[in-house]
Structure 1
Amino acid sequence: MIFSPARPQDAADIIRDCVTRSITLKLRGGGTRAGFGNPVASDAVLSSAALSGIMVYNPAEMVLTAKAGTPMADIEAAVVEKGQFLAFEPPDHRPMMGTAGEPTIGGAFAVNASGPRRFVSGAARDHLLGVGFINGKGETIKAGGRVMKNVTGLDLVKLMAGSFGTLGFLTEVTFKVLPKPRVTETIVVSGLDDAAGAHAMAVALAMPVEVSGAAHLPDLVAPRMIGGGLPDGPATVLRLEGLPASVSERADKLVAVMARLGPVTRLDGEQSAALWQEIRDIRVYTDVLTKPLWKVSVAPTIGHKLVAGLRLQAAVDAFYDWQGGLVWMQMEAEPDADLLRTGIKALGGGHATLIRADDAARKTLAAFEPQVSAVDLLSQRLRHTFDPSGIFNRGMMEQYIAGAPTSGPAARSAR
């Protein structure tokens, strides 16, 4: 059974009726991220697909309000026409998940989807100004506003971003947009191993050249980037954006320093766009969708150490984004969750999210990083406050401890 309300009031009526009848709901936008998290136990689907359309867009104030089910393509077309863009660079997860449908703006904020620019521009939640949603009691709630200075309910807005539909059904979002960079250029340093690539990214980020993308593509990954025109071998890629004269001057400075570390090439705007879109959408891990895929967040200087340690015990394919702070890691066989999380802990901490795996693994492993008991208790209390009957996305973020699941969803949205 699929409910697809066209008005927030209709959605509220459906939710209240489901509470009365003890019907659990799987909340869905465009369905492009089906398979995220642990399996959802639900009796019906509540979709935001019919809640579509841009409500208010003021390019002068760089603020846009849209219904949650508005296709991302419609949002991007509207802002590009005005010379603006979404600085959090939301990825399209369809290739790596093997899904269809249309990515929606509400779905992007529900999972806090953030691309390569995240380490300089912030995550999706940092661009979210206001939300409208319906809680598990069928109550319509609005928080935040259309300007940054209006901080009413700002914490609630942040909490909804990244809650994966466990706290409420999003009906509308208000967010900021920014002027689109006039020119983009990418500096490529070739031939560096993972450790040297991490060092090169650190050097580049320490320079006053405003790098807006920093990724290292090892020798198993770089050749599979088909659209960016990369040289042979591993590639450390550094993106610069802005006005033409500024980008040219900053690129010259960056090349002068990077040339001391390895051979350097420069990619123009078209090549850069193709490359960074592939990095954003994790296109290299779309050939075998049955292989487990992890999203690992650690300190930028230890990502390569984690991968090197894991490779002593398991077959791992990985590349690094966010200056090395984000490691996309494909396991060639089993998910190896205990091995991975033990390694992360030994190197000072971080968190690992199982993005893709077979049904058996998703039923038995904690897809999201298990929290300490105090944080998990807070998370459970938050969910009980928002959804006292527990009808939304039941099981999505469960922790599995000694085989016994305990829910711990909302506190993870603080990431």
Structure 2
Amino acid sequence: MGIAEHVTEKAKSAKAASYMLAALSTGEKNRALEAAAGLLDKNRKSIIEANIKDIEACREKGLKDSFIDRLAAGDKQIDTMIKSLRDVIALPDPAGEITGQWERPNGLKIRKMRVPLGVIGMIFESRPNVCVEASSLAIKSGNSLLLRGGSDSINSNISIIKIIKEAFRSAGLPEGAVELVEDTDRKGVEIMLGLKGYIDVIIPRGGKGLVDLIAEKSRIPVIYHDAGICHTYVDKAADIDMAVKVCVNAKAQRPSTCNAMETMLVHKDIAPEFLPKAEKVFVAAKVSLKADKESKVFIPSAQDAAEDDYRTEYNDYILNIKMVGSIEEALAHINTYGSRHSDAIITGDKKAAEKFVKEADSAACFVNASTRFHDGFEFGLGAEMGISNQKLHVRGPLALVGLTSEKYVVTGAGHIRE
């Protein structure tokens, strides 16, 4: 079977399943997710063995440790996968929720009801945990799922989806509830993007190259998980010790993630005291610093920051530092160079905080907190398909409610329009 036939058959299977999933009760969906949690726990050895193959192949290619970190699926990551399933089980089921209702003067009763999107096509790169998170959210919201992962995690993905499919089958779900495109030929992505009759929405989760390709080629609506060029602005009214702690966490706690800080903006009035203290902690955390001319006065060990650096998502232990003269300058920088993802202000000035959250064009704004909190788990949403930094149809963590739309249900008593 060629790649076109392979992808199309998977999409057809998911489409057929989507109509059955939309009719499932919350209990039926939760039982399927619990079955998946149990089987993942029982089959740890096979997942880890498959993951080791992927990691060894990546090391042979000379890929960065930060990339391999995203690829890991050991006991710790499997524990997180299982927890994510059970977190989603505990969440309210959005499908069937009535979000509004009213009665017209003629007696017609109108309701707005949440319904699944249908078939979700998810194209992602290196994270095997996406298989579990995406499956749990799709099933709980009544959608079917067609996954296409990157070649670097193919063995892990196949192992995990095989287990999930077995669990869902045992719980009575249709065969096409979750499907994986196992052929890693890049043509498979373009074929998926053309299957408008079978796939209802595409969700990309990966780097800029993947997202740009999908934006250009897709004939299907797309919910973008785009680049994470995130900022922290250290205001002149910041508590310096707090600012150091939060900024180092935002950069160094896990730099490979999309919500890690890439540029730190520092008000000129606080820079003389703040920057030398921050430099010591960043250097201890093995973060390489790039700075503008003004900032280098206080951190001379930093390399020069170039214009293109401010538009770069490093996903690594590298940080840009820029001094600004006002909150307005900080906001202008964020709205020019940022990716509308996660941006923070550290300040003790309530008016400055209010101005920042109103004017920073970001999916999430943080006040005196790390951008690393921009995450479905941390927000209490159970899991996420990704973080949308577009404005339609959902912004921020793409969780259960974001995987539904609304339809009108109109009830009459033999009403006809005159």
Provide the TM-score with structure 2 as the length reference.
0.29
Q: Which has the higher strand share?
A: 1
**Rg comparison, structure with higher value:** 2
